Amino acid sequence: MNKTYRRIDDKTILDKFVEDFCRIVEKHVKYIVCSGFVAIAHGRTRGTEDIDMIIEKIPKRIFIELHNDLRKSGFVCIQSDHAEEIYGNYLVNGNSVRYVYEEEGFFPPEMEIKFAKDELDEAQLNERIKLPLTGLDIYFSSIEGNIAFKEELLRSDKDIEDAKHLRIIYEGKINEAKIDMIKHKIDKLRLKR
């Protein structure tokens, strides 16, 4: 579905959703926003209904505090309203969960959260960065990491176009050796080649 989000001042509703959500999450846990929203935040025009977020693995107690803070701020989890169930039945089992604005009912935008899966995700969290070109005060995974994942693992037409867009935006500033190193780790850890 191709969705266009109206603007609030100089930001879209999607931008506001991401910043509001990240402002709460960063009080409790280290996070990154990654995948398609990185290209969208850099001006690529394409629809999205969800924003991908990876968070570090945290104990249940901290997740419950995070969930309760999100609830107080007007976000609900689509899968369940019970923090212990979200943690025990989804996150620790490697599954993602989705949060939306409560007032909107279960409609986009959605924040899809999952725990860091392996050393690849942990490296992305350790190298997280704020990207001034986006105009957003949130942490992203590195440009090289996004390109590597899109070109080597995800590989859909949309992902390849996202990677091309980021290569154009950051032409002359991309570390190709780092992209190759991440692709090698993707092959080893995710693709088992």
Residue 117 lies in a domain: yes
In a domain, 93, yes or no: yes
Q: Is 110 helix (H, G, I), strand (E, B) or coil?
A: strand
Question: Structural domain tally of the chain?
Answer: 1
pLDDT recorded at residue 5: 40
Confidence at residue 11, expressed as pLDDT on a 0 to 100 scale: 76
Q: What's the pLDDT tens digit per position in 96-151?
A: 999 999 986 666 799 999 999 999 999 999 999 999 999 999 999 999 999 999 99
Residue 29 belongs to a domain with what CATH number? 3.30.460.40
- List pLDDT tens digits, range 10-58: 678 889 999 999 999 999 999 999 999 999 999 998 877 789 999 999 9
53 inside domain: yes
Q: What gap in Å lies between CA 190 and CA 50, rounded to an integer?
A: 22
pLDDT at 12: 83
154 falls within a domain: no
CA distances (Å), 153 to each of 18, 21, 62, 95, in order? 25, 27, 31, 18
Domain of 51 in residue numbering reads as 7-142
Q: Which of 39-48, 82-91, 175-184 has the lowest mean pLDDT?
A: 39-48
Q: Is the pLDDT of residue 8 over 60?
A: no
Tell whether 151 is covered by a domain.
Answer: no
Residue 60 included in any domain: yes
Whether residue 31 lies inside any domain: the answer is yes
Residue 110 in any domain: the answer is yes
pLDDT band at 7; cut points 50, 70, 90: very low
Give the pLDDT mean for 164-189: 98
Helix (H) or strand (E) holding 55: strand 50-55
